[in-house]
Chain A
Amino acid sequence: AQTVTQSQPEMSVQEAETVTLSCTYDTSESDYYLFWYKQPPSRQMILVIRQEAYKQQNATENRFSVNFQKAAKSFSLKISDSQLGDAAMYFCAHMNRDDKIIFGKGTRLHILP
């Protein structure tokens, strides 16, 4: 069965520093998608990054990048130059092709000014 594990319920980082949020998943499939979502307090969910398993190149979106280790089934999110607006709940998710998406429990990220 698919599972997604985010082992860090909460994290804090100093403004302008870099932080890495970890995510591991389990699947028996070889073709799948991985996602990071951001849910700011009282604001709408945002899709931050999407990675296809067949692509070896790590996805990047401005200050957000991932470290995708397929063999280790690891998909961490790196946020560079952290800003106050990055404070949010971050969800990692996995989806086998043509299947339903499974979310992790989330990591609450605090940005310290």
Chain B
Amino acid sequence: KAGVTQTPRYLIKTRGQQVTLSCSPISGHRSVSWYQQTPGQGLQFLFEYFSETQRNKGNFPGRFSGRQFSNSRSEMNVSTLELGDSALYLCASSFFAGDQETQYFGPGTRLLVL
């Protein structure tokens, strides 16, 4: 079974630009979550999607948005990039069976904003 894939793996943008990151979950997983990891702020939750609906959102400005498609693939978009948006963006897909959760992470997309 293929793992969680994230594209692109590395990205360099300049301030003011926008960026779209993609995440393909494990087949059969309907939940996709996004996280931002920086040396200063650590790991922070961005949002979670389940069956194309956003179930939860972290404390990020409206420049950060996301969506999920009918095949469970998810995209996140950051508009008007700022230097502080440089980070590793992680995506995870989850499968729930009763009260058990199985979660797998992708390798991440490393974004550098210049």
A interface with B by C-beta (< 8 Å):
44-47, 50, 52, 91, 93, 98-106
B interface with A by C-beta (< 8 Å):
3, 42-45, 48, 55-59, 90, 92, 99, 101-108
**Can you offer 7 A-B residue contacts whose CB atoms are under 8 A?**
A44-B3, A47-B101, A98-B56, A99-B56, A100-B48, A102-B45, A103-B44
Report the nearest B residue to A54, measured CB to CB. B99
Report the nearest A residue to B3, measured CB to CB. A44
Residues in A with CB closer than 8 Å to B45 are 100-103
Q: Tell me if A100 and B99 are in contact (CB < 8 A).
A: no
Q: Give 14 A-B pairs besides A44-B108, A47-B102 with Cβ atoms closer than 8 angstroms.
A: A44-B104, A44-B105, A47-B101, A47-B103, A47-B105, A50-B101, A91-B43, A98-B55, A100-B57, A100-B59, A101-B45, A103-B43, A103-B45, A106-B42
Q: Tell me if B42 and A105 are in contact (CB < 8 A).
A: yes
